[in-house]
Structure 1
Amino acid sequence: MQQGALHGFRETPNGVPIMHLSFTDDSELFGNATVDEAQRVVDVLKVYVWGSSQEIDMSKSLIFFCSKTTKLSKKEIEKTLGNQCKEGFGKYLRLEEDFGHSKKVVFEEVRDKIKTRMAGWAEQFLSQAWKEVLVKVMAMAMPNYAMSCFKLPIGVYSDIEKAIRNY
């Protein structure tokens, strides 16, 4: 970055560039959509592999392009980074990465998982005490990660509370 080969992402024109975000054993890298910058990323990753003795599984890697990136540039960058990389949106830590216009749609999956899990519990012959334990330990803990990262829409909260009450 100091040499001007990598640019990162700036929230504002004068803001500090963000080059990467790291989470446990995952990383997100930011840069301009050019073949030169992609080659610099490959060079940095090779140094990381050499220095850490860890391998990078490119089959689990995704490339996200802005809408202004041409198809030709996308193909060249994918080739530079390794043809196992995929373009598109997926999940990260069990949440959809693309929020689109509606967060409620993304978090419906969290709500649906809770409902599905509780439906399975309903089929079992459990005492009231065990049902209460399951609700407190499992159902109320399932949305914790999503809630720690994002402010869930009030409709999702209401749906989860309603499912727990109905159980």
Structure 2
Amino acid sequence: MFLLCTERFSALIQNGMKRGAFHEVRVVPNRMPISHLFFADDSVLFCDATLNDAQGVRDILNIYAEGLGQEINMAKSSIYYGSKVKKWDKKIIERTLNIQSKVGFGKYLGLQADFGHSKKPIFKDVRKRIETKMVGWAEQFLNQARKEVLIKAMAMVMPNHAMGCFKLPIRVCKDIEKSIRSYWWREMSTVRGFNGPLGIAY
């Protein structure tokens, strides 16, 4: 049932574009334009930051809500603008859609959903979570065998989700490796350290 509703929503968007109710966006020059993205029960619509496009999106949302028999919760929705959109246009669009704007898309599935040319600030959170875990482990005075289990089973696995979505910069991978090695060698200056690669692929 959910998939059928999603297919109908997609069809409404396609029909709206065909009749000029709103326009898809070309994020990168000379590349295919994009109008919407669906993942599970989340939807992202792309259009020009104009009153006409806002009205077109509003009409499609209303048609979809009426067909579904439920109102869309605008309080849980948000608008994200491009950097060149004027403040006055933002007010008109928000008033038309009855949706508030916010800075950036925020986090999605634990990762920052928007970023610029540098991805390092986004993955800083991945490194911070690993370091926070290791600080907690350090306070437990674990022996080397338990340390090795935690490193292999948790610390080295935690970046996997981010790496499945994005290609981590080499610098970020090296920072994570450095943090893990620092935890392993802590108070072990006279003991042979962890051998072998940490398994973080670049």
Q: Calculate the TM-score normalised by the size of structure 2.
A: 0.71
Determine if the alignment matches structure 1 residue 86 to structure 2 residue 101.
yes
Q: Name the counterpart of 1:146.
A: 162
**1:117-141 deviations in Å (ceiling 9; x for gaps):** 1111221244544433322332222
Q: C-alpha displacement at 1:75, in angstroms?
A: 0.4
Q: Name the counterpart of 1:65.
A: 81
Q: Which runs of 5+ in 2 are unaligned?
A: 1-16, 184-202
Q: Using CA pairs below 8 Å that are at least 6 residues apart, which structure has the higher relative contact order?
A: 1
Q: Name the counterpart of 1:162.
A: 178
Determine if the alignment matches structure 1 residue 116 to structure 2 residue 132.
yes
Q: C-alpha displacement at 1:45, in angstroms?
A: 1.9
**1:31-50 deviations in Å (ceiling 9; x for gaps):** 01112211221222223333
Q: Contact between 1:62 and 1:88, CA under 8 Å: does it hold in 2? A: no
Q: C-alpha displacement at 1:95, in angstroms?
A: 2.4
Structure with max Cα Rg: 2
Q: C-alpha displacement at 1:157, in angstroms?
A: 0.2
**1:15-58 deviations in Å (ceiling 9; x for gaps):** 54311111222221100111221122122222333344565433
Q: Which runs of 5+ in 1 are unaligned?
A: none
Q: Match for 2:38 among 22, 29, 32?
A: 22
Q: Name the counterpart of 1:75.
A: 91
Moved more, 140-149 or 31-40: 140-149
1:113/1:14 Cα in 2 relative to 1: closer, same or farther (>3 Å)?
A: closer
1:29/1:132 Cα in 2 relative to 1: closer, same or farther (>3 Å)?
A: same
1:95/1:54 Cα in 2 relative to 1: closer, same or farther (>3 Å)?
A: farther
Q: Calculate the TM-score normalised by the size of structure 1.
A: 0.84
Root-mean-square deviation (CA, aligned residues, Å) is 2.3
